[in-house]
Structure 1
Amino acid sequence: MSDSSNSRRSFLKSTVAAGVAAVAPTVVEAQKKSTIAKPVTPPNIIVYLSDQFRWDFVGANGRNSSTHTPNLDALASRGKNFTQTVTNQPVCAPARSVLFTSRYATETGVWHNGLELDKSLPTLAGELRKAGYTTNYIGKWHLANGNKSTGGGPGAVKAEDRGGFLDLWEGANGIENTSHPYEGTIWDRDDQPITFKDEYRVDFLTDRAERFLRQKQEKPFFLFISQLEPHQQNDLHQPIAPKGAAQRFLNVSVPDDLRAQPGFWQAQLPDYYGCVESIDSSVGRVRKILEEEKLADNTIFVFISDHGCHFGTRNQEYKRSTHNSSIRVPLIIDGPGFKGAQQIPELVGLIDVAPTLLEAAGVPVPPTWKGHSVLPLLNDPEARQQWPNQQLIQISESMTGRAIRTPDWTYCVADISGAKAAAAKTYTEYQFYDQRTDPNELVNLAGRQEYRIKADELREQLKKLIKVAGEPEPEILPAKLYP
């Protein structure tokens, strides 16, 4: 056994012994000693993010007989499908801040929507650009100050607010506020408007990605494609499918977690299915372009979402809850270092994506990052056994809450005073679900004495995770009533 393998396994074992993700410097030391070879040719990287895309609407995940995702299914059949991936903050801007910085949302400056990403933090784009990559962005940003203009138009973003994406820039800070499904505006790197009309927004943004990919690339590139669909429109208050698509999904299967709850899924599911189909077609188109341009073999392709969608079944809107429908997201990775069909059942978070991509590209991971590279899960059975398998979820806007998610349990606490702040000094047990017997989370076990021992154990683990996120250890009070 190599010294580097021993180092990795020692790190993972110490992580489990601590009952919490190891601090960032330990993570980096383990990654520096990784047994994974640095690529001879730096791989291109494409991250394709579809906003508010439920994990169970990928057909390859085997939970939905009505969804139509042949291209995503093909991606999963070629690469690595991480079937237990969660967002660390189930709302748009905070989730994206975690994805780009591998820090928790309370550390990024974006603990709720409308805040500005802390410019002092190293980002995925910034680190890749220092390593010789071009960094390119298309679509929704949502990490500048609010939904107001920070550049030359209502949605334009100044260069210093772009998180290290300093080459191609074609985006809008809040694209749901500057466009509709068939018309709208994004802005280029010089704050000049790019308008579209009578073309479905998903197809328009895919057009812009094709335009980039057809150009000769002098350097390895990082391209982030950020689609709004199937997220709802702010002013239309629902997802909007391409013309004629919703009609094809009028009599579809309803996920079990929705069927049991009141909400607005009854009216919106057909459009949601249609949006999902459109995203899948876009992914297929991008993949076809990569093949035609002879880029596919040396391009890491990531499909991911920022959060899920519960259609008003858990609170008064679409997300911002600790339930699977809100926090579970798809994560499929294909390309160099990720080839060969494999389902990865270990629990990973958005916070783990950036270090994974840097390690896959042979780029050093910043010592301040909190996530773990998932590459050991692909080829090291002992590392898989020692993986921490727990994630911290921070909740904002709907309430101030914290949760720990493990393969078997979700344990959530909330500030019952109703204050909506970055954090609280005191929380009360709020939701508690057994993922083994109740994956649809229909029975809340919070406050039930027969689960007291397990709740106490999870409470202590959650406190440790909260401290790793840079927060003071809070007081957590037991639930007194059955919700």
Structure 2
Amino acid sequence: MKRLLLLLFALCPSLFAAKPNILMIAVDDLRPQLRCYGVEQMHSPNMDRLASQSLLFNRAYCMVPTCGASRASLMTSIRPAQGRFMTHLASAEKEAPGIVTLNTQLKQHGYVTLSNGKVFHHPEDNAVGWSEPAWRPGAPATGAPSAAPKKKGGKGKAKAAAATKDEKGKSRGRPFGISDLSDDEHSDGQVALKTIADLRRMKEGGQPFFIAAGFFKPHLPFICPKKYWDLYPEGSLKLPANYHAPKDAPEVSIHNSGELRAYTGVPKNGPLPDAMALEMIRGYHACVSFTDAQIGRVLDELERLDLAKNTIVILWGDHGWNLAEHTLWCKHSCYETSMRVPLMIRAPGFNGGKKTEALTELIDVYPTLCELVGVPVPAHVQGRSFVPLLTDPAQSWKTQAIGRFTNGD
């Protein structure tokens, strides 16, 4: 028998090839605000590097422009509907009971599944699908710096804690600001460190892995170290040309950007002062660059460990974000700026450096990853695998991408 196995391995080694690993990188509130998407003022070298090795999707869309609902839809490959996946608090487990999520499906087929940072909105969502309890950093889920002071030299963390509350302890604090903490003292620095540690563990384990690394920035508040703000000097950025409501826009399409209004110093209604709006835009850019640096650390470690050659890397944003377009901030609308997302995938055996104009939806991620690793696609899945686009990005594809917000059908 041993001789037979050796002969089979010699004649057909592909039968014994290890299943590909998966590194899934999720970025909160990231619109296609990257240089690889033609935004020339952006400093995003690490995501741009990944894009140059990947298939980059120019017309990828979320299903619903709010965090929890978008992530629940992606991880189940089920579209939102009335009463399901409508708000940022959406839970896949509660709103789609009995549905096998992406992580659960991979775990049931031999994968070690790990969740670091923000993957599902609720870390306890579909806990059975993770090989270990979903891990979150000690910093607040908004991505603000950790408020826990150090025994020595903790002045910076005390400042960060004060910045998240007003004098009555009721406000979220300022919506943007410069932090004097190191990268590793921020949520996303901690996510990078934990993911790097897990990659090292998985290297020694020999079992295929699915690691989901969820980065918080550029979620509000736009707080990150000064070196990232310095990439965008004052006066280098402008307000959008369409800093006004579209003509004859439906009333329901324009909201008051309520997520932002809870922060200190932000007017409760009406437009932001131009100076504040420009600093908001600058802060968003800075936080994208901050998260890009953390993603770069993870990608570098993947290469250093010699895991990249057998690891699928997919990166997506959970929805878009408005930077004063149509008078809007945040997401929560069905305009292009809220619905369109960055999406790129690098897969072993496929040539990278390609782009596609094919319409793609985030519910397509689940069946795509299953097909790439040879795991069955459950019958409930509503997305369509985009594996064929990896070989022919220009082929005829979907004719529509369907998204929604709140309870409208």
Equivalence for 1:245: 228
Q: How does 1:143-162 map to 2 (within 5 A)?
A: 143-144=121-122, 157-158=123-124, 161-162=126-127
Matched, 1:110 2:110: no
- Cα shift at 1:101: 0.6
Q: For 1:219 and 1:119, how far apart are their aligned partners in 2?
A: 29
Decide whether aligned partners of structure 1 residues 257 and 229 sit closer, same or farther in structure 2, where only a CA change above 3 A counts.
Answer: farther
Does residue 44 of structure 1 match 2:56? no
On the 8 A contact 1:98/1:108 being kept in 2, the answer is: no
Cα distance in 2 for partners of 1:39, 1:346 equals 34
Of residues 174, 188, 192 in structure 2, which corresponds to 1:202? 188
CA drift of 1:143 comes to 3.9
Q: 1:226 to 1:163 in 2, by over 3 A?
A: farther
Alignment CA distance shift 1:392-1:282 (3 Å): same
Cα distance in 2 for partners of 1:105, 1:140 equals: 20
Q: Alignment partner for residue 137 of structure 1, among 115, 124, 127? A: 115
For residue 74 of structure 1, the aligned residue among 36, 41, 49 is 49
Q: Distance in 2 between matches of 1:39 and 1:347?
A: 36
Distance in structure 2 (CA, Å) of the matches to 1:81 and 1:108: 33
Choose between structure 1 and 2 for higher RCO, CA contacts under 8 A separated by at least 6 residues: 2
Which residue identity does 1:363 align to in structure 2? V
1:358 is aligned to 370
Q: Does the CA-based 8 Å contact 2:26-2:119 persist in structure 1? A: no
Q: Residues 396-440 of structure 1: CA distance to partner in whole angstroms, max 9, x if unpaired?
A: 2xxx435xxxxxxxxxxxxxxxxxxxxxxxxxxxxxxxxxxxxxx
One of 142, 145, 148 as aligned partner of 1:181? 145
Q: 1:224 Cα deviation (Å)?
A: 0.5
> Kindly, what percent of the aligned residue pairs are identical?
29
| Per-residue deviation, 1:168 | 5.5
Matches of 2:128 and 2:337, distance apart in 1: 29
Question: Could you say if the C-alpha distance between residues 173 and 125 of structure 1 is closer, same or farther in structure 2, counting changes exceeding 3 Å?
Answer: farther
Paired with 1:108 and 1:292, the residues of 2 have a C-alpha distance of: 46
Q: Which residue of 1 aligns with 2:103?
A: 125
Question: Structure 2: which amino acid aligns with 1:390?
Answer: Q
**TM-superposed deviation, 1:376:** 1.2
Q: TM-score, normalised by structure 1?
A: 0.63
Please state if 1:389 is matched with 2:399.
yes
For residue 289 of structure 2, what is the aligned residue in structure 1? 277
**Secondary structure of the residue that 2:81 maps to in structure 1?**
helix
Counterpart mapping for 1:444-483 below 5 A: none
Q: Which residue of 2 aligns with 1:318?
A: 330
- Distance, in Å, in 2 between the alignment partners of 1:341 and 1:47 is 19
Distance 2:61 2:393 in 1: 22
Distance 1:89 1:252 in 2: 32
State the one-letter code of the partner of 1:225. Answer: A
1:84 aligns with 2:59: yes
Query: Cα 1:143–1:65, aligned 2, differ >3 Å: closer, same or farther?
Result: closer
In the alignment, the residues of structure 2 paired with residue 96 and residue 132 of structure 1 have an alpha-carbon distance, to the nearest angstrom, of: 23
Q: CA deviation at 1:169?
A: 2.6
Q: Please name the residue that 1:14 is paired with.
A: none
Structure 2 CA distance for partners of 1:181 and 1:165, relative to 1, 3 Å: same
> 1:240 aligns to what SS in structure 2?
strand
Instruction: Classify the secondary structure of the residue corresponding to 1:169.
Output: coil
Structure 1 CA distance, aligned partners of 2:127 and 2:137?
A: 11
Contact (CA 8 Å) 2:54, 2:347: kept in 1 or not?
A: yes
Distance 1:259 1:358, change over 3 A: same
Match of 1:60 in 2: 36
Q: Give the TM-score of the pair, scaled to structure 2.
A: 0.73
Shift of the 275–97 alpha-carbon distance from structure 1 to 2, 3 Å rule, reads: same
Matches within 5 A, 1:301-340: 301-311=313-323, 313-314=325-326, 317-340=329-352
Quote the Cα distance in structure 1 between the aligned partners of 2:188 and 2:104: 27
Paired residues of 1:142 and 1:173 also in contact (CA < 8 A): no
Cα pair distance change 1:226/1:73, threshold 3 Å: same
List runs of 5+ in structure 2 lacking aligned partners. Answer: 1-13, 150-160, 162-180, 246-270
Q: Is the 8 A contact 2:72 2:85 kept in 1?
A: yes
Structure having the larger proportion of residues in strand:
1
What do the CA deviations read for 1:67-87 (whole angstroms, capped 9, x no partner)? 001111111111110111010
The match for 1:426 is none
**CA spacing shift, 1:174–1:280, aligned 2, 3 Å:** closer
Flag the 1:60–1:172 CA change in 2: closer, same or farther, 3 A: same
How far the C-alpha of 1:359 sits from its partner, in A, is 0.5
User: Offset at 1:88?
Assistant: 0.8
- What amino acid is the match of 1:162? A
Picking from 132, 137, 146, the partner of 1:167 is: 132
In structure 2, what is the Cα distance between the partners aligned to 1:373 and 1:276?
A: 28
Residues 259-301 of structure 1: per-residue CA shift (max 9 Å, x gap) = 5675564231111111111111112111110111110100111
Which residue identity does 1:401 align to in structure 2?
Answer: G
- RMSD of aligned Cα (Å): 2.9
Q: Deviations over 1:345-400 (max 9, x none)?
A: 11101011111111011111011110000011222478x22x1231111112xxx4
SS in 1 for 2:389: helix
